A = this chain, B = another copy of it.
Amino acid sequence: MADQSHIIVTEGILPAGTWAFVADRFSPFAKETLAKLVRFVQDECMPAEELYHAQVEKGAKRWQVIPPVIEDLKRRAKQLGLWNLFLSKRHYPEWGTDLTNLEYGVMAEVMGRAGHFASEACNCAAPDTGNMEVLAKYGNKEQQEQWLKPLLAGEIRSSFAMTERFVASSDATNIRTSLRQEGDEIVINGHKWWISGAGDPRCAVHLLMGKHDPDNPNRHAQQSMVIVPANAPGVKVVRAMQVFGDDDAPEGHMEVIYENVRVPLKNLLVGWGKGFEIIQGRLGPGRIHHCMRSIGTAERALELMLRRVTDPRKTTFGKMLSEHGTIVADIARCRMEIDAGRLLVLSAANMIDQVGAKGALRDIAYAKVMVPNMALAVLDRAMQAHGAEGICQDTMLAAAWAGLRTLRYADGPDEVHMQQQGKIELRRAPALWERQKQLEAKRDQLFKQYGTPRAHI
């Protein structure tokens, strides 16, 4: 098969310059997969998007029925080999796909054009992706057999039960959910919310973070992670949290109370006190995936904007919107900011490929902050060009904006990341002072050597 990857440029997925910058890091397999994925998303997913939303139930069955079209698309993606692309063969030789983070990053962007929807079709949707990684990395054979395999097959879905109500659980040491061992069972009591996917009738399992040992002086050894079947007695899905008025059915972001939930001890992941370690490993690459999907969303918003401002029906005061200088400038600004943000993410993805997520934390953090802010700005401009249509249910803009808005605090608010990174940058100061001392010594010597008088210092 000839290299079809230039479709990435001709379809306007990446600017030619960006593709020229990264194409030679793509394997032939990745290029072929990417070309197929572009066709699949553009030709099969995007036309089905409105249908998907129409198939979400409005009334009592809202949390019970899965839109048929998504299951059909999943079958189709599997057939095309566009399945589980997120899982890297390098790390998970048994199940993974042969893609680097950089390669998958671009694919995540392509899927991100059709929101959560195309990602789900390719079994690459959060929170399943992170959960599968956890199970692949930390699960034992039995746990993998029972939960990972059906997840990889797209037969069930899953939740990640971390965030708690009434405390600031972005600091994991604040977690209050208690895990108590009774014989060979674990008894769970806690109050969580924003448990994504827990409303979905296909959701079969929660990976739950709690504290087994809250008084451990090592604050990072208090937490443990447990596999909780979604239908275990005592798991009470209380209500759907809304994101700017949207409940995201049928998946939802649910408030869940765990009341004396009992699971067998073998459902413990790795061992007591390993919870913190597990979530640390879960976050890095996932953040990049969010970023890349955001960029896809921003590109799509820009496309909507380009169409809107050239719509002859939307002429005001005798001019099409595209004839207004400020609109033209806004479009260029969108393009510039998207391109810069994308390069930051691709560079971070490449760094993960070269030195692992741990060595790329800094690159990940900056991408994690910059890209959602950029994408929000792009979407806001696109909304503004659409007027009322831009904030209603008739385009993807408002819902996508709301979804992107959550990324500014999810996995740590911007402010926290920037404080951490600023402090890391500050660690360079002592070396800089040292270098300055040397420089000043040389400077003084040079003045002497040339006999040039120094101005008063």
With A325-B419, A328-B423, A426-B331: A456-B351 Cβ-Cβ less than 8 Å: no
Contact check: which of B322, B390, B406, B426 meets A391 at CB < 8 Å? B406
Does the CB pair B194–A388 fall under 8 Å? yes
Q: In the assembled complex, how far is the CB of residue A215 from the closest CB belonging to chain B, in whole angstroms?
A: 17
With A51-B443, A328-B422, A450-B51: A306-B432 Cβ-Cβ less than 8 Å: yes
Q: In the assembled complex, how far is the CB of residue A318 from the closest CB belonging to chain B, in whole angstroms?
A: 9
Chain B residue at minimal CB-CB distance from A11: B435
Chain B residue at minimal CB-CB distance from A348: B17
Q: Tell whether A260 is near chain B: CB-to-CB under 8 Å.
A: no
Q: Tell whether A341 is near chain B: CB-to-CB under 8 Å.
A: yes
A interface residues, how many (CB within 8 angstroms): 130
Does the CB pair B351–A314 fall under 8 Å? no
Looking at A221-229, A268-276, A407-415, the stretch in contact with chain B turns out to be: A407-415
Contact check: which of B21, B303, B330, B450 meets A351 at CB < 8 Å? B21
Q: Which residues of B contact A399 (CB under 8 A)?
A: 244-245
Q: Which residues of B contact A360 (CB under 8 A)?
A: 17
Chain B residue at minimal CB-CB distance from A390: B409
Q: Tell whether A232 is near chain B: CB-to-CB under 8 Å.
A: no
Q: Which residues of B contact A456 (CB under 8 A)?
A: 238-239, 255
Does the CB pair A350–B419 fall under 8 Å? no
Q: Tell whether A283 is near chain B: CB-to-CB under 8 Å.
A: no
Does the CB pair B170–A402 fall under 8 Å? no
Contact check: which of B325, B369, B435 meets A326 at CB < 8 Å? B325
Q: Which residues of B contact A401 (CB under 8 A)?
A: 244
Chain B residue at minimal CB-CB distance from A331: B422
Contact with B along A420-457 (1 / 0, CB 8 A): 01110110111111011001101100110010111110
Q: In the assembled complex, how far is the CB of residue A191 from the closest CB belonging to chain B, in whole angstroms?
A: 11
Q: How many copies does the complex hold?
A: 4
Q: Tell whether A89 is near chain B: CB-to-CB under 8 Å.
A: no
Chain B residue at minimal CB-CB distance from A342: B343
Q: Which residues of B contact A54 (CB under 8 A)?
A: 447, 452-455
Complex CA gap A344/B347 in Å reads: 11
Does the CB pair B398–A429 fall under 8 Å? no
Does the CB pair A419–B244 fall under 8 Å? no
Does the CB pair A168–B387 fall under 8 Å? yes
Q: Tell whether A241 is near chain B: CB-to-CB under 8 Å.
A: yes
Does the CB pair B419–A310 fall under 8 Å? no
Q: Tell whether A277 is near chain B: CB-to-CB under 8 Å.
A: no
Q: Which residues of B contact A406 (CB under 8 A)?
A: 388, 391
Complex CA gap A393/B450 in Å reads: 21
Q: In the assembled complex, how far is the CB of residue A398 from the closest CB belonging to chain B, in whole angstroms?
A: 5
Chain B residue at minimal CB-CB distance from A431: B12
Looking at A29-37, A42-50, A91-99, the stretch in contact with chain B turns out to be: A42-50
Q: In the assembled complex, how far is the CB of residue A54 from the closest CB belonging to chain B, in whole angstroms?
A: 5
Complex CA gap A170/B388 in Å reads: 10
Contact check: which of B242, B332, B387, B408 meets A393 at CB < 8 Å? B242
With A241-B393, A425-B306: A344-B340 Cβ-Cβ less than 8 Å: yes
For the A-B complex with A47-B442, A307-B429 known, give 11 more contacts whose Cβ atoms are closer than 8 Å.
A20-B354, A46-B439, A54-B452, A163-B388, A244-B391, A255-B456, A310-B426, A326-B418, A329-B415, A339-B344, A384-B415
